[in-house]
Amino acid sequence: MAEIKLPKIPSKVTLSHNGSLVAISYQSDMAGVERVLFLDVASKTFVHTLAGGRFLEPKFHPAQDLMAVVKAGTANQLTIFDTTTWEEIYKHETSTAPALAMTISDDFQSLAMTLADTRIEVWDLTKLGYTNVKRP
């Protein structure tokens, strides 16, 4: 059992596909988080932080070391990270109403986002230039 003292009470936690990472989210308002800490379970250390904006909940790939997150605002920005190196392997941005929620398909090929102006955007990431370089 790993037990780590956190800086404050989180709003949500999410495990990576193999349980090696935990995303610890801290809520800023009803539609986003202000900070996400990524904890390496084995070493009990924080290995990455997302801060400086309003983020939607991060989503881990169900079988690979990938994580997707949207930084919401007047320009909603999707970033996909390789969680072994924290390299940004893909980024796409749209200028539109702020995103409120997002989901991404298990294969990381499609993304859906609800927006503050009551619209939903569905992105085919393959048509937007994303290629899953970690695919076996």
- pTM of the full structure: 0.89
* pLDDT interval class at 37 (50, 70, 90): very high
pLDDT of 118:
93
Residue 101: partners with Cβ closer than 8 Å, 6 or more residues away: 31, 56, 113, 114
Q: What is the pLDDT of residues 66-110, one digit of tens each?
A: 999 999 988 899 999 999 999 999 999 987 799 999 999 999 999
Q: Measure the CA–CA gap between 98 and 113, rounded to whole angstroms.
A: 10
Tell me the chain's radius of gyration from C-alpha atoms.
15
Structure tokens at 94: 């749209």
- Give the single-character DSSP code of 100: E
Q: Measure the CA–CA gap between 136 and 130, rounded to whole angstroms.
A: 16
Q: Measure the CA–CA gap between 72 and 7, rounded to whole angstroms.
A: 24
> C-alpha 48: how far from its chain's center?
12
The CATH class given to the 12-124 domain equals: mainly beta
Q: What is the pLDDT of residues 110-135, one digit of tens each?
A: 999 999 999 999 999 989 988 875 54
Q: Where are the alpha helices (DSSP H) in 22-132?
A: none
